[in-house]
Amino acid sequence: MQDKKYRLKDIQEKIDRDKTTLIRWEKEGLIPEAKRDSRGWRYYNQNEVSSIINLVLSSDYFRNIHSRSTI
């Protein structure tokens, strides 16, 4: 049986962030790097999705990153 593949869209709906934010976090090493299908599209397995969602929802860094102001 093949594991279900989850796309960025599936994650962004759960955490209310744009896919470009998720891609940036991936490049910065804050979330795991996605696997790629034959078209080059990113995908994750269920464990990776759960881990990313829990990390984002429980971390002050992800919650406050955009609320910081520069003077």
Q: How many domains does the chain contain in total?
A: 1
Residue 44 lies in a domain: yes
Cβ atoms within 10 Å of 25's Cβ, excluding its own: 19
Per residue in 4-23, pLDDT tens? 999 999 999 898 889 999 99
pTM for the full model? 0.74
Task: Label residue 50 by pLDDT band (50, 70, 90).
Answer: very high
Residue 47 lies in a domain: yes
Residue 52 lies in a domain: yes
Residue 17 lies in a domain: yes
Residue 70 lies in a domain: no
Residue 42 lies in a domain: yes
Task: Label residue 57 by pLDDT band (50, 70, 90).
Answer: confident
Domain holding 54, by residue range, is 8-62
Task: Label residue 61 by pLDDT band (50, 70, 90).
Answer: low
Residue 67 lies in a domain: no
